C-alpha cells in the first residue's frame, strides 16, 4: 500500500484552476473567525429579507459544500465524482421544518431520494435526520424518560405522534431494503439522542438480518460512546442482526458544553481532543476486529485516523473494498483524503447535501462555523489548494 494524503494532484484532479481559486478565496475568508461569526448571524436574516444575495451564496459557499438545489443538479456532481471512483452519500439537506405535514413531506422526499439512488451506480447510501421526521420537543420528552416505550406519561396523543414517527422510519427503511440502499441515521444533540438510538436499534433488528441497511451514527467526542458501541454490538449479536455504525467525532461540542453548564450537569464531551482521538481510533479498531458482524463507515477528516484505518485493513489482509468497510468525508472538504483513498481501491464517499438554498442555510452556516473553529482545518485546506495551484504552474 502506497498512500499519501499530501498528493494534491490526485486530490484536485476533478477541479479546474478557476474552481480551485474560488475555493482558495472561500477558505481564506473562513480563516477570519470574526468574519464568519458576523456572516453566519447575518446570512439567515438577509435571506429572509429578499435582498439579492441568492446568487452570491450560490457561487461561493453553496457551490463548495452542496451538490445542487435539485436531484438533477446534484446528479452532475455525482457523475464527476464517480469518474474518480468516489461514491456518494445523498443528504436531503432541509432542516428545522416542524409540523406533521412537513414531516410527511420529508418522508416522501427521503423515499424519492432512495428510489433515485437505486438508479445510480455510485450512490450506496442516503442520510436521514430524525428531526426531519419528528418534533424536537417530543424527542426531548422521550429522552427524559428513556426506559419507557414512548411518552413520559399516559398521553395518548403523544404516543400516537411517536407511532407516526416510527411508521415514517419503517417506510423509509422498507424501501431502502428493497432497493439495496443504506440508510445512515444522523446523530443529534445528547438531550434528544436516546429515543433516536432506541428507534435505530429497533429498525436495525428488523432490516439488518441478512445485510446491513440501517446505520447509527456514534459521536466519539462523547466520553460514553465507545462503551455504547460495544453495548450496541452485544445487543445486535444477542438479537441476531448485524450492527451498522457511522463513526464521527461530533458536531455539537459548544452547544453540548453550554447546555451542561446551564443545567449544572457534567458535560458528556471528552476532556480534550486527545481523549476524543483515542476513543475514535479505538472504535475504528473495534469495528475492524469484528468486521464480519459490524459494518462501519469511518466518517472523518482526521488524516491520522484515516491512515490508521487504511493500515489496519491492509495489515489484516481485509480487501480494500470489503462491503462492511467504507470511508467518507464531506463534499467540499478533505479531498486529499477522499481521492487518495479511492486511488488505493478503498470504498469511499462524499457526503453530498442538496436542497433549495433557503432550506440548506442551516447546514451551510454549520460548515462555516466548523471550518473556522476546527483547529487547523481551514489552514490545511488552504495549504493543499495553494500547493496544487503552484504544482500546476510548474507543470
Domain ranges of the chain: 68-362
Are 341 and 3 contacting, i.e. CB atoms less than 8 angstroms apart?
yes
Residues 16-42: tens digit of each pLDDT: 999 999 999 988 887 777 666 776 666
- Closest by CA to 316, choosing from 348, 284, 342, is 284
- Closest by CA to 247, choosing from 229, 224, 227, 223, is 229
Give the cell for residue 66: 452542496
Residues 334-345: tens digit of each pLDDT: 999 999 999 999
End-to-end CA distance of the chain: 26
Confidence at residue 1, expressed as pLDDT on a 0 to 100 scale = 73
**Residue keyed to cell 458482524:** 293
Q: Give me the tens of pLDDT residue by residue for the chain, a chain 395 residues long.
A: 789 999 999 999 999 999 999 999 988 887 777 666 776 666 766 666 666 667 788 888 889 999 999 999 999 999 999 999 999 999 987 666 789 999 999 999 999 999 999 999 999 999 999 999 999 999 998 888 755 544 445 566 788 899 999 999 999 999 999 999 999 999 999 999 999 999 999 999 999 999 999 999 999 999 999 999 999 999 999 999 999 999 999 878 888 899 999 989 899 999 999 999 999 999 999 999 999 999 999 999 999 999 999 999 999 999 999 999 999 999 999 999 999 999 999 999 999 999 888 788 777 777 776 655 554 567 889 999 999 999 999 97
Give the cell for residue 337: 483524503
**Residue keyed to cell 488505493:** 344
CA distance 165 to 195: 11
Length of the chain measured in residues: 395
Give the chain's radius of gyration (CA, Å). Answer: 21
> What's 349's DSSP letter?
E
User: Structure pTM?
Assistant: 0.92
- The architecture (CATH level 2) of 68-362 comes to Alpha-Beta Barrel (3.20)
Residues 150-186: tens digit of each pLDDT: 444 556 678 889 999 999 999 999 999 999 999 999 9
Are 234 and 293 contacting, i.e. CB atoms less than 8 angstroms apart?
no
Q: What is the DSSP string of 166-201?
A: HHHHHHHHHHHHHHT-EEEEPP--HHHHHHHHHHHH
Strands 348-354 and 294-299 come out as: unpaired
Confidence at residue 376, expressed as pLDDT on a 0 to 100 scale = 59
Confidence at residue 373, expressed as pLDDT on a 0 to 100 scale = 52
Amino acid at each position: 500500500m502506497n498512500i499519501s494524503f499530501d498528493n494534491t494532484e490526485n486530490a484536485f484532479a476533478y477541479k479546474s484552476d478557476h474552481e480551485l481559486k474560488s475555493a482558495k478565496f472561500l477558505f481564506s475568508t473562513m480563516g477570519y473567525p470574526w468574519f464568519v461569526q458576523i456572516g453566519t448571524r447575518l446570512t439567515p436574516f438577509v435571506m429572509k429579507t429578499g435582498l439579492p444575495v441568492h446568487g452570491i451564496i450560490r457561487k461561493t459557499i453553496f457551490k463548495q459544500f452542496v451538490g445542487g438545489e435539485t436531484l438533477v443538479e446534484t446528479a452532475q456532481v455525482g457523475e464527476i465524482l464517480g469518474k474518480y471512483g468516489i461514491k456518494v452519500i445523498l443528504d436531503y439537506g432541509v432542516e428545522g421544518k416542524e409540523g406533521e405535514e412537513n414531516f410527511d413531506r420529508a418522508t416522501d422526499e427521503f423515499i424519492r431520494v432512495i428510489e433515485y439512488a437505486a438508479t445510480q451506480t455510485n450512490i450506496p447510501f442516503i442520510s436521514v435526520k430524525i428531526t426531519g421526521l419528528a418534533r424536537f420537543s417530543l424527542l426531548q420528552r422521550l429522552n427524559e424518560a428513556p426506559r419507557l416505550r414512548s411518552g413520559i406519561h399516559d398521553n395518548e396523543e403523544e404516543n400516537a405522534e411517536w407511532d407516526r414517527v416510527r411508521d415514517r422510519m419503517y417506510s423509509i427503511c422498507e424501501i431502502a431494503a428493497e432497493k439495496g440502499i443504506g440508510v445512515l441515521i444522523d446523530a443529534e444533540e445528547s438531550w434528544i439522542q436516546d429515543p433516536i438510538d432506541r428507534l435505530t436499534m429497533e429498525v436495525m433488528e428488523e432490516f439488518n438480518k441478512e445485510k446491513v441497511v440501517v446505520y447509527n451514527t456514534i459521536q466519539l467526542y462523547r466520553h460514553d460512546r465507545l462503551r455504547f458501541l460495544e453495548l450496541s454490538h452485544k445487543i445486535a449479536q444477542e438479537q441476531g442482526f448485524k450492527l451498522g455504525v457511522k463513526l464521527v467525532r461530533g458536531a455539537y461540542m459548544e452547544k453540548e458544553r453550554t447546555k451542561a453548564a446551564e443545567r449544572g450537569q457534567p458535560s458528556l464531551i471528552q476532556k480534550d481532543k486527545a481523549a476524543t482521538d483515542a476513543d475514535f481510533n479505538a472504535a475504528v479498531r473495534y469495528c475492524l476486529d469484528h468486521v464480519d458482524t459490524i459494518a462501519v463507515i469511518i466518517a472523518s477528516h482526521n488524516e491520522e485516523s484515516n491512515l490508521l484505518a487504511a493500515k489496519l485493513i491492509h495489515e489484516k489482509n481485509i480487501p480494500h473494498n470489503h462491503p462492511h468497510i467504507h470511508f467518507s468525508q464531506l463534499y467540499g472538504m478533505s479531498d486529499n483524503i477522499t481521492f487518495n483513498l479511492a486511488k488505493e481501491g478503498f470504498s469511499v464517499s462524499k457526503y453530498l447535501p442538496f436542497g433549495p438554498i433557503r432550506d440548506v442555510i442551516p447546514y451551510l452556516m454549520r460548515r462555516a462555523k466548523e471550518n473556522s473553529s476546527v483547529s487547523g482545518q481551514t489552514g490545511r485546506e488552504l495549504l493543499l489548494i495553494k500547493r496544487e495551484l503552484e504544482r500546476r504552474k510548474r507543470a
